[in-house]
Structure 1
């Protein structure tokens, strides 16, 4: 019986340690009175705490990064954890631009609190050759990020990119670390993501794992978001929507995994002037295409409209058609219009 009790306590201790590493905090509870807190924890009276059930850990509200959208922050339990690994998925390769733009938007929110610190973007040669690099001028105009703040590390192999990410994740001199991976490689398993998550927790810095054309799989990241591009609406002016214009960048963000286990899908617009997100709740409207629509084919119920006058071949008798009296003499006609010689 004593051996069973010791083994049970060992299993419980391992589970608590794994939950602490993975950051699985599914439920937020009301904080107890300050007098009941441990005096050695360095928490004084009047400090608001967030108590979580699993792991019995206490987290300050400053441990979360609010996205700025009330419904999304509520579904995530307060926002994204600052000191943790966060996955941002793109279901298809063509979503790489939307995933990168959404990640840069989150980095812009982080830089509001950690101004002046650089960001390290890590990827393999395949990633950068496929998706390219962010446009330097667009970084400052859209996200308020100076081009000199964004550092890139191009690794020849995935194992090298993972090593660079683990070493960079423990550095407090970086505002955030971005690791971009394609697909579901075998080396990026649960153990590798646990190491990244543990490094992020130790340094108190976020690590964003961008995954192109990847499917969901078990990882240590407490939050997984699925990002894609959303149709842009016309630009808003004082007189109303400007027809034919393209408005602010928009993203469709779905929650694939979170501490609260609450699903949700949101359409977010990034405001480059305010440097923040806004939720679009009205019906999505596509920007009007100024190009005229091509007529339907003649085999349909609505045949194509009759063609107008073709200037290249004017009708006989029209003012621009040549008259017989204006024809050049036979000697000045083109050779291909003359009679063909036989033989």
Structure 2
């Protein structure tokens, strides 16, 4: 059914009213010359794009990837609540790594201010704490710049986050939550978003094994780990090496962008993101398909451990000479002893 001009204007008017309620400004953009016409009306397609009503030039934190920053209208909002999701528990490390990369970018602009990371005891017992020595080596963060607050209950963690979000003495606040607790509802996220707007500081809501649900955060990113590619050398990729950590970033929610997916690499030496595109992404996918399970290399100067034996149907009674000789015969020689039998040694 063809859409009349009156109906089209009615739709635009409704979108304008919704944008006013949400605090955004709709902007009508005509399709470029040569674009296909609408099959129903025969006219050019009109794109409605929403952006922040009065965004200042420094209202966003650029991630450093042109396509992703353009999709987010400049980057992540500085004075707002931003969600960073991990769909499964095993993605907690990738979510934390991506959050620390963002923190590294923030500290480049807010030097000297600390970051407060808030979580419940369940969170830190499940995923652990960031390694202090790795903070400086991978992200340029001094250990004293990253403060942790471990709360016994979720209600306590939310209270700490609300109080910390209004403090201008912090560069950012990170709240890590597991699952979809009932207390983390739309009202709670609205309070966090309002505190962030008032203080002009970002608040990041990290969520482990959580399903998307309505919140006040204008941006939601879904993060998962991506396979690393070999390190690049003058002679080409170095076989058997492991390159920079990589993340798969999906835009799950945004007021200015359609859903999209990006593969980013974090360069710990230059403290910036690089986008993996085209040939590198295909090469990483092929290598992951060939080796879907991580493989630990054998110890140096040792033979392969003996293959696992089949099911044992019967064995002689303990203490008999046959049992002793059989046991001695089945033990691997020192050169064949499995790696997991002895303690791990550094170097």
| Equivalent residue, structure 2, for 1:164 | 160
Q: CA deviation at 1:95?
A: 0.2
Distance in 1 (CA, whole Å) between partners of 2:182 and 2:26 is 28
| Equivalent residue, structure 2, for 1:19 | 22
Tell which structure's C-alpha radius of gyration is larger: 1
**Alpha-carbon distance change, 266 to 26 in structure 1, aligned in 2, over 3 angstroms:** farther
2:235 is matched with which residue: 239, 242, 249? 239
Q: Deviations over 1:239-269 (max 9, x none)?
A: 2211111110100000000121311100000
Distance in 2 (CA, whole Å) between partners of 1:65 and 1:28 is 25
Q: CA deviation at 1:284?
A: 3.9
Distance in 1 (CA, whole Å) between partners of 2:55 and 2:153 is 37
| Equivalent residue, structure 1, for 2:85 | 89
Query: Number of matched residues?
Result: 260
Q: Is the 8 A contact 2:218 2:255 kept in 1?
A: yes
Q: Secondary structure at the match of 1:269?
A: strand
| Equivalent residue, structure 2, for 1:325 | none
Distance in 2 (CA, whole Å) between partners of 1:77 and 1:231 is 28
| Equivalent residue, structure 2, for 1:210 | 206
| RMSD (Å) for aligned C-alpha atoms | 2.8
| Equivalent residue, structure 2, for 1:195 | 191
Q: Any gaps of 5 or more consecutive residues in structure 2?
A: 1-16, 30-48, 299-305, 307-319, 323-347
Q: Secondary structure at the match of 2:228?
A: coil
Task: Tell me: higher relative CO, structure 1 or 2? Use CA pairs within 8 A at least 6 residues apart.
Answer: 1
| Equivalent residue, structure 2, for 1:276 | 272
Q: CA deviation at 1:226?
A: 0.1
Distance in 1 (CA, whole Å) between partners of 2:77 and 2:107 is 15
Q: CA deviation at 1:130?
A: 0.2
Q: Does 1:133 align with 2:136?
A: no
Q: Does 1:265 align with 2:261?
A: yes
> If the length of structure 2 is used for normalisation, what is the TM-score?
0.69
1:78 is matched with which residue: 53, 74, 77? 74
Q: Is the 8 A contact 1:25 1:259 kept in 2?
A: no
| Equivalent residue, structure 1, for 2:220 | 224
Q: Which runs of 4+ in 1 moved over 2 A?
A: 14-20, 24-29, 52-55, 286-293
| Equivalent residue, structure 2, for 1:306 | none
**Alpha-carbon distance change, 28 to 273 in structure 1, aligned in 2, over 3 angstroms:** farther
Q: Any gaps of 5 or more consecutive residues in structure 1?
A: 1-13, 30-51, 294-309, 311-334, 338-343
Q: CA deviation at 1:140?
A: 0.4
